[in-house]
Amino acid sequence: MPNDRKSEEIVAGRQILADIAAGRVRTVVDFGLDTLNIISCPSCSRVENEAFVELAEQVREMTEYAREHALTIAVMGCRVNGPGETDDADLGLWCAPNFVNLKQGEKTLGAFPYDEILDKLKQELDRLIAERSAVS
């Protein structure tokens, strides 16, 4: 997938290797953060829609308001790794050619068109923040 940020994959690859060497690797790596953690795949040849790269950036921008909350959001570009890679995230998106699947952990919340997914993600993110705030 063409992307002028591809060089960042080298940095990410080195971080993955460092995490493996330190024994910190799971499906969703726990960096011990008390802040929002957004993970995304590097958009390999299995990505079936170029909108995935733009969606990952839009998720990062849209969730800026939730930075101080210890939640993980996974944004995956394909149906090969997406379903499993999103299982350990608080909220997960995995992209198909014409829609985006939204999950909370292993539970599927639905499949939504690309132009509706950000609003739906925000609703679920707000709900999770409210639930966790009520418990603390």
The CATH code of the domain that includes 103 is 3.30.413.10
| Domain of residue 62, residue span | 8-135
* 117 assigned to some structural domain: yes
Which residue from 38, 114, 48 is spatially nearest to 81, judged by alpha carbons? 48
Distance separating alpha carbons of residues 37 and 90, to the nearest angstrom: 10
∠ Cα 93 73 46 (to 5°): 40
* 2 assigned to some structural domain: no
* 22 assigned to some structural domain: yes
* 85 assigned to some structural domain: yes
* 79 assigned to some structural domain: yes
Per residue in 22-36, pLDDT (tens digit) is: 876 655 556 677 889
* 50 assigned to some structural domain: yes
Assessment of whether the complete model's pTM goes beyond 0.95:
no
Number of structural domains (the chain) is 1
Per residue in 40-80, pLDDT (tens digit) is: 877 776 667 778 888 989 999 999 999 999 999 999 877 77
- Please report which residue ranges of the chain form alpha helices under DSSP H: 8-21, 51-62, 82-85, 114-135
* 3 assigned to some structural domain: no
